[in-house]
Amino acid sequence: MIPLLLVLLLALILFGAGFALKILWWVAIVVLVVWLFGFVAGPKGGSGRWYRW
Protein backbone atom coordinates (compact mmCIF):
# COMPACT_ATOMS: atom_id res chain seq x y z
CA MET A 1 0.00 0.00 0.00
CA ILE A 2 2.78 2.46 0.87
CA PRO A 3 4.62 2.03 -2.48
CA LEU A 4 1.37 2.72 -4.31
CA LEU A 5 0.85 5.92 -2.31
CA LEU A 6 4.44 6.98 -2.98
CA VAL A 7 3.97 6.45 -6.73
CA LEU A 8 0.73 8.45 -6.70
CA LEU A 9 2.41 11.23 -4.70
CA LEU A 10 5.32 11.31 -7.13
CA ALA A 11 2.91 11.48 -10.08
CA LEU A 12 1.06 14.40 -8.47
CA ILE A 13 4.30 16.26 -7.78
CA LEU A 14 5.54 15.77 -11.35
CA PHE A 15 2.18 16.81 -12.79
CA GLY A 16 2.17 19.95 -10.62
CA ALA A 17 5.74 20.79 -11.58
CA GLY A 18 4.98 20.29 -15.26
CA PHE A 19 1.93 22.55 -15.03
CA ALA A 20 3.91 25.23 -13.17
CA LEU A 21 6.72 25.07 -15.72
CA LYS A 22 4.22 25.43 -18.55
CA ILE A 23 2.78 28.56 -16.89
CA LEU A 24 6.30 29.93 -16.37
CA TRP A 25 7.12 29.39 -20.05
CA TRP A 26 4.03 31.40 -21.08
CA VAL A 27 4.94 34.18 -18.64
CA ALA A 28 8.50 34.25 -20.02
CA ILE A 29 7.19 34.49 -23.61
CA VAL A 30 4.87 37.38 -22.71
CA VAL A 31 7.68 39.25 -20.95
CA LEU A 32 9.98 38.69 -23.92
CA VAL A 33 7.37 40.02 -26.35
CA VAL A 34 6.79 43.12 -24.20
CA TRP A 35 10.55 43.71 -23.91
CA LEU A 36 11.06 43.32 -27.66
CA PHE A 37 8.16 45.67 -28.38
CA GLY A 38 9.71 48.29 -26.10
CA PHE A 39 13.12 47.75 -27.67
CA VAL A 40 11.76 48.18 -31.21
CA ALA A 41 9.52 51.12 -30.33
CA GLY A 42 12.49 53.00 -28.94
CA PRO A 43 12.65 55.56 -26.17
CA LYS A 44 10.16 58.40 -26.16
CA GLY A 45 12.15 60.73 -23.90
CA GLY A 46 15.75 61.83 -23.87
CA SER A 47 17.16 58.77 -22.11
CA GLY A 48 18.43 55.76 -23.98
CA ARG A 49 16.23 53.31 -22.13
CA TRP A 50 12.44 52.95 -22.27
CA TYR A 51 12.20 51.31 -18.86
CA ARG A 52 12.80 52.98 -15.50
CA TRP A 53 15.20 50.52 -13.90
pLDDT given for residue 51 in this prediction: 58
Largest CA distance in the chain: 68
Please check whether residue 50 is in contact with residue 42, taking contact to mean a CB–CB distance below 8 angstroms: yes
Lowest mean pLDDT among 23-27, 34-38, 39-43: 39-43
pLDDT of residue 50: 55
Chain-centre distance for alpha carbon 33: 12
How far is Cα 21 from Cα 28, in angstroms, rounded to an integer?
10
SS3 50: coil
Q: What is the pLDDT of residues 9-26, one digit of tens each?
A: 888 888 888 888 888 889
